[in-house]
Structure formats: structure tokens, C-alpha cells
Chain A
């Protein structure tokens, strides 16, 4: 999938199954497509993946050919190195970072990543400094106290109560989610209500939900 995570509940796994073809585009061809998109009213170029991190070298070359003034929307899990962050400084206009977990144990268990909290919190602070930040949180069932609460607390205390956050309730178990017993169902109404209460408790003022 071109991703540096292995989330057992990956949603894009099913999306990727729907793709009918994969093609090589030259940097120049992709730049032309992006320029066209801007002319017809698209607001940004949205680099996804998998995750865009492994594709940074390619994207930088695409930008060399672009002619229009198209903002860069970096749609990432945020698990990149300082070196990569430095390369993206002066490139990325909006860092859209998924804040998935509130502790390292859940991150390692579900997405196979180490030192998640150290990396994500460092990069969130850098992203805020280097550009503009939009955080997405997909609320996982049974992960409100261990994850959501810690995530919201960090945002409120370290990034600012006015940080723009998209709180999402549409989690559905995909791919290998059945291997993680507590996330084999959707979020229930009680949990969503509790999530909204947590947002209020931490005083966040710019939340889409």
C-alpha cells in the first residue's frame, strides 16, 4: 500500500481493492494534471498514499514542473523523521496529520509502530511551526480513555485549544480488525457522546464533528 504503518483496521485496504489499474506517470504528466485541476477549481493537491512519506522524493520532482499556484495538502500519519520534516518545510501548506493513538502500547499493537507518542507529538509541534495544521482523529471503540482522552489533552495543552480538529465517528472494522477484539465493532452512541464530552472538557474550540 505504500505505507509505513500496518494498521490492522486499514480502511484504504478496501479502497485499494477497487482500483482498476496502477500506472506510472512521469513527473511532468502528473504536474500537468495538477495544473488542470487547479484551473477547474480544485483547492489543493492532496498527497495521499498509503502514506505520502515514502513518496516525498517523487513529489518534490513533480513540484518542479507545476505552473499553477496550488497549495500542498500533506495527508499523513505523521510518522516521519526530522530530516523529512526539514525537507517539507517550505513545501507543505497544510499538514493534515492523523492523531491515532494516545499511548505507545496501542500504537504498537494495532499499527506496528514504535515510539509513536515521541514521534507524533514532536511532528505535530513542528508542523504547527512550519505551516498550518489540521488534525484528524478517528475515534476507535474502547479506546476513549487510553487514546482519545490523551490525544485531546495533548492538543489542548501543547498545540492550543483553537487547533482545527476533525473528530470522526465513522470507524468501521476493515481488513484484519478482527484480530483486535475490542475494535471489531463500530462506535456506539454512548461512546460518541462521551467523545463529544471529552472535547468540551479539554476546551477545544475548533472541532468539526
Chain B
């Protein structure tokens, strides 16, 4: 029913301005191309888990060259391999990201908190992600909607504030 709310979104994928700026995205939505993460999952990785961070980054660098090559080949029509490796470039990225959380440098504040141990960064995010809401967003750019949107909270602490805030409003009514 979303096309009643955002009729402009229906034809957005045919809009030359959209295609000019986001050609690959339009093709993924139409299932003519693979989302990037799906290509990452096709690239096999062999690691023991004992590698240093530097070694993991070196492997990552090497495999990203393979990634770029494979994305190009698939976009040009190469058949998608039917078998996916057990441990892929996506696993490697996930492993590195997890390791970064021990001394977090994801954002440019580089606060280096040990989020893996539950310490909170400047962002107030610790070890886990708390989902506050998800919904089919209709308020984004026409080519983007409907967009499955996930909002998250920093930590249980703020979630508690919000829960009590919301219930206060409710009882107030």
C-alpha cells in the first residue's frame, strides 16, 4: 500500500537523475546485481584466529583486491558461484570489527574504550546493540522508500530512561 503514501517513489527507480547517481543501487533493488555484502560472502578466507591485528589487516587488504575484481566480473554478467565458503571476507571483517571493540577506534573520537568488556564509549554504546524500533520508513528520498529502518539505543541505561519516559507520558494521558 506504500505507493498510495508515496506515489513519487513508484517511478523513482526510472528517474534518470536517480539512475545517474545510484545506478548500482537501482540494479540491486531490481535484483539485477548483488548487494555488496553478498559478494563479500563469496570470497573465502583462511585464518586461525591467532593472527595479530596487523596480520588480519594485511589479509583484508589482499582480499579486498579480490573483492573489487569479483564485483566487476559479477556486474558484467559472470555467473554467481553456487557454493559459498564457510569462512568468508565478511567473517574476516566481522572478526576485525570485534577486535577493534577492545580499544574502539570506529569513529574519529578514537576514545579507545574496551567495549568488548562492556565499557561505554563517548557514544554510550558498549558491547551490545539495543534495538529501539524498526519500521518501513516512508519519509526518505523517493528512491529509498520504502526503507526498512532500524533505530538503536546506546545502552540499557538510556533505554530505561526512554521506557520510563514513555510510560510516564502514557500514565499522564
How long is the Cα–Cα vector from A90 to B42 in the complex, in angstroms? 11
Contact A33-B108, Cβ < 8 Å, known A2-B153, A18-B166, A164-B21: no
A119 at the interface (CB under 8 A from B): yes
Contact A56-B97, Cβ < 8 Å, known A4-B122, A16-B162, A17-B165: yes
Residues of A within 8 A of B21 (CB): 132-134, 162-164, 206
Number of B residues near A (Cβ < 8 Å) is: 81
Chain A 46-73 residues near chain B, CB threshold 8 A: 46-51, 53-58, 60-61, 63-64, 66, 69-73
- Shortest Cβ distance from residue B145 to the other chain A in the assembled complex, whole angstroms: 7
* B123 contacts A2, C-beta separation under 8 Å: yes
State the total of A-B contacts with C-beta under 8 angstroms: 242
B136 at the interface (CB under 8 A from A): yes
Chain A binding surface, main DSSP class: mixed
B-binding residues in A (CB < 8 A): 1-4, 12, 15-25, 30, 33-34, 37-38, 40-51, 53-58, 60-61, 63-64, 66, 69-73, 75, 79-81, 83-84, 86-87, 89-94, 96, 113, 115, 119, 131-134, 162-164, 166, 206, 208
Contacts A56-B97, A64-B91, A81-B108 given; 11 further ones with Cβ under 8 A? A12-B151, A15-B151, A44-B25, A46-B140, A48-B152, A58-B128, A83-B100, A93-B24, A93-B25, A162-B21, A208-B141
